[in-house]
Structure 1
Amino acid sequence: MTRKYEPDEELERHIASRLLDVLIRAGLVLALVMLCYRVFSPFLTLMVWAVILAVTLYPLQQKMARKMGGKQGWAATLLVLLSLLLLFGPTVLLLSSLGDSVQETVTAVQTLSVKIPVPNPSIAAWPIIGKKIYAAWVLAYNDLPAFVKSMQPKVVDLTKVLLGVVAGIGGGLLQLLASFIIAGIIMAFGQAGAKSSLAIFRRIVGAERGDEFAKLSTSTIRAVAQGVIGIAFIQAIIVGLCLIIASVPWPGVLTVIVLVLGIAQVPALIVTLPAIIYIWSSHGDYSNVEAIGYTVLLLVAGMADNVLKPLMLGRGVEAPMPVILLGALGGMATAGILGMFIGAVLLVLGYRIFMGWVAANPHSEAASAEDHAET
């Protein structure tokens, strides 16, 4: 005779009560996390960039602190001031040049004072788009007001974009300055911060993998910041200053192009060689001595990465260049110039952590051992 099952109502009520308690607590925690993110989100980019700067400069700050008798705060302050003196001044000059170039272009379009060169008939032979480009160019050359009128909606949109770029330059400079200041504060309390980050990693991935992931994150940030972005940034500043000295048009725009090319590991000679051609062409009013001097400057600036890489690259970055390029361009599209640095570092960091997790799969190691034993 089968025994009839009788549900334990007391047990069910206890389980339901515990489940409801867990759900309420989880909901409260989720609400707290969302509120904290909403409060912190305006400063997220600033803080991430400050952490990147702090991690990158921390070894140098520790060396300075040892020479100053262990004064962490004074060492961090001095390092921030030196960094701003060496980087912030040229950056302000180049971004100001970029803003002036954009403003001049907007003014020239609005006042119809743009000088259109004679179109080359060979352009019409280009496949697919050649005839359209040649026709538009001929119209702009013969009747610029009519061309501008036909393109007015696009010109208005382009003007708004360019003016937005100019307006964002000041905000970017202030954000860069604030990032360096916050990075100095983080470095001053770097030892406590290192212990806290290690504890966070141990809590997230476990005590065994926490140390490994913390070291991996730190080394990745320093490798990318110093070996890729740092070299590209320094070379872009050098090339930009040389372009300003040589009075080449649009030095700010060309500097941004050099920066993007440097992050993508493309030689800066792609920009400096056309600048040299401009100097020696009839468009530039240079004497032979000036042209030779500026040519040497631009050639040296274009090949500066060959000297900087052995000094700063170290062991290199264990990540494909497309990952770095996508991170840089995606970050720039979402957060401007600072986003270019943040995007590249974060994407490479995520790639390194993910590939390290994949490589540490115990099942794949066991399978490899079995395959090796069979052979």
Structure 2
Amino acid sequence: MNDETNPGEELSRHLVHALIRVGLIALVVVACARIFAPFFGIMLWAVILAVTLFPLHQKLVPKFDGRAGRASTLMVLAILLILGVPMVTLGISAVDHTTDVLSNMKSGEFEVPPVNPAVGKIPIVGENLIALWESASEDFAGTLRDHKDQVSHYASVLLNSATSMLGAVLLSMGSMIIAGVMMAYGHAGAAAMERVLHALVGDAGNNRGQQVLRLSTATVRSVAVGVIGVALIQALLLGVGFLLAGIPAAGLLTFAVFFLGILQLPALLITLPIIAYLWGVGDGSTLANSIASVYFIVAGTADGFLKPMLLGRGVDAPMPVILLGALGGMVSMGMLGLFVGAVVLAVGYQIFMAWVDFVCDGREPLTSQTPDS
């Protein structure tokens, strides 16, 4: 009786076992992904907030005798009170205001103020705009019937945008609470992520995992300052101008400027209609309108020189790479893509340049120093 195993049968048996294991692993991965999918957005936002705010958290920890949990709790409560409550109030106000306007338009109670003849002097669109404005001022219901399809479309878009804005505010508040928990265990989380990156990039002796982690951390913070920080600065500049110029709903418009800045859309989408409002409906003098118009145009284009100053600082990757990653990621994934795209492109750039250095100069890959986290 021959006890020898056929090499072909042995290979087949090992191959079947390997396929079964791979299949089971794939099944577990798919199941985990499906279970985690509903929480992916809020968890990713929480990670971004935790990474961005962690340096501030570390400055607060010594004041609480090294108790990271108490420092996180204080930070979260302060941020929710300072930013969360006004944002929720503005979001609810936006939805209510939009609903009221749409209700008044449907009931015929909405009134359009008389147009200023200066509107007709606006290049290209002045004549058509003043004709439409005069028609709406004299017979709004009739004008509404004549443009029913267009009004319904834009009204629906406006209402959906206001509702989405309120949902985004609530999502950000939930993410902030989760980020507080992450910051309380920040060092343990960073160590675990470093081990994961070591396993992925290999050769822990060269600290490649640590370098990739530092690069990712610095990129997230750079985008937070260069995108969200610039949007906040621009919104504050324009908000002060709206208040001084006596623009109605100045707070809501300021929030809209901030939202557009995060979406990488120009603030001129808000400021140009406001300038038209100043000259068409406002009762200010020519000098006051001229000063306000110049201020709104300058503040509305401030992001053009603020971003190159702030975006990419402290990151071992060129600013255009960070900016292209943020913009491309936003187009592909929405607001989360601002951070994900920038991190992926920055890491990809570093890996590519490390490969170039290794091929051309024989240097060990990923040995360049990135800023400390």
TM-score category by the smaller chain?
0.7 to 0.9
CA distance in 2, matches of 1:308, 1:125: 32
Q: TM-score, normalised by structure 1?
A: 0.73
- What residue is the counterpart of 2:229 in the other structure? 230
CA contact (8 A) 1:55 1:218 kept: yes
Identity of aligned residues (%): 33
CA distance in 2, matches of 1:91, 1:367: 53
- What residue is the counterpart of 2:70 in the other structure? 74
CA distance in 2, matches of 1:138, 1:304: 35
Match of 1:325 among 311, 320, 327: 327
Task: Give the letter aligned to residue 284 of structure 1.
Answer: G
Match of 1:180 among 166, 176, 187: 176
1:62 matched to 2:58: yes
1:357 matched to 2:357: no
State the number of aligned residues: 348
CA contact (8 A) 1:239 1:302 kept: yes
CA distance in 2, matches of 1:366, 1:165: 51
- What residue is the counterpart of 2:18 in the other structure? 22
CA contact (8 A) 1:319 1:352 kept: no
Secondary structure, counterpart of 2:6 in structure 1: helix
Pairwise CA distance, 1:23? 1.5
CA distance in 1, matches of 2:311, 2:351: 27
CA contact (8 A) 2:61 2:68 kept: yes
CA distance in 1, matches of 2:265, 2:280: 32
1:220-259 CA-to-partner distances (Å, cap 9, x unmatched) read 0111112332231354256346636754235424532354
CA contact (8 A) 1:231 1:312 kept: no
Task: Give the letter aligned to residue 19 of structure 1.
Answer: L
CA distance in 2, matches of 1:149, 1:135: 16
CA contact (8 A) 1:329 1:343 kept: yes
Write the mapping of 1:189-338 to structure 2, written as runs, cut at 5 A: 189-206=185-202, 207=204, 208=206, 209-237=208-236, 239-240=238-239, 243=242, 247-251=246-250, 252-253=252-253, 255-261=255-261, 264=264, 275=274, 278=277, 281=279, 283-284=281-282, 314-315=313-314, 318-320=318-320, 321-328=323-330, 331-332=333-334
- What residue is the counterpart of 1:5 in the other structure? none
CA contact (8 A) 2:46 2:178 kept: yes
Q: TM-score, normalised by structure 2?
A: 0.74
CA distance in 1, matches of 2:88, 2:45: 18
1:146-170 CA-to-partner distances (Å, cap 9, x unmatched) read 5544544444444333333333344
1:300–1:122 CA distance, 2 compared to 1 (3 A): closer
Match of 1:159 among 152, 155, 158: 155
- What residue is the counterpart of 1:99 in the other structure? 95
CA RMSD of aligned residues (A): 4.5
CA distance in 2, matches of 1:153, 1:269: 27
1:343 matched to 2:337: yes
**Ranges in structure 2 where 5+ consecutive residues have no aligned partner:** 363-373
1:152–1:303 CA distance, 2 compared to 1 (3 A): closer
CA contact (8 A) 2:88 2:166 kept: no
Task: Give the letter aligned to residue 257 of structure 2.
Answer: I
1:115 matched to 2:112: yes
Pairwise CA distance, 1:359? 0.6
1:311-363 CA-to-partner distances (Å, cap 9, x unmatched) read 9985477342344334345554xxxxxxx2x221111111101111111115x
Task: Give the letter aligned to residue 6 of structure 2.
Answer: E
CA contact (8 A) 2:327 2:338 kept: yes
- With 100-109 and 56-65 compared, the bigger mean Cα shift is at 100-109
Write the mapping of 1:139-158 to structure 2, written as runs, cut at 5 A: 144-145=140-141, 147-149=143-145, 151-158=147-154
- With 189-198 and 86-95 compared, the bigger mean Cα shift is at 86-95
Secondary structure, counterpart of 1:361 in structure 2: helix
1:10 matched to 2:6: yes
Pairwise CA distance, 1:19? 1.4
- What residue is the counterpart of 1:4 in the other structure? none
CA distance in 1, matches of 2:294, 2:137: 36
CA distance in 2, matches of 1:96, 1:294: 29
**Ranges in structure 1 where 5+ consecutive residues have no aligned partner:** 1-7, 333-339, 370-375
1:147–1:368 CA distance, 2 compared to 1 (3 A): farther
CA distance in 2, matches of 1:150, 1:23: 66
1:42-90 CA-to-partner distances (Å, cap 9, x unmatched) read 1111001110110111111111102221111111111112222332234
Task: Give the letter aligned to residue 226 of structure 1.
Answer: V
CA contact (8 A) 2:219 2:343 kept: yes
Pairwise CA distance, 1:145? 4.3
CA distance in 2, matches of 1:82, 1:329: 33
1:69–1:265 CA distance, 2 compared to 1 (3 A): farther
Task: Give the letter aligned to residue 115 of structure 1.
Answer: V
CA distance in 2, matches of 1:122, 1:247: 23
Task: Give the letter aligned to residue 216 of structure 1.
Answer: L
- With 230-239 and 189-198 compared, the bigger mean Cα shift is at 230-239
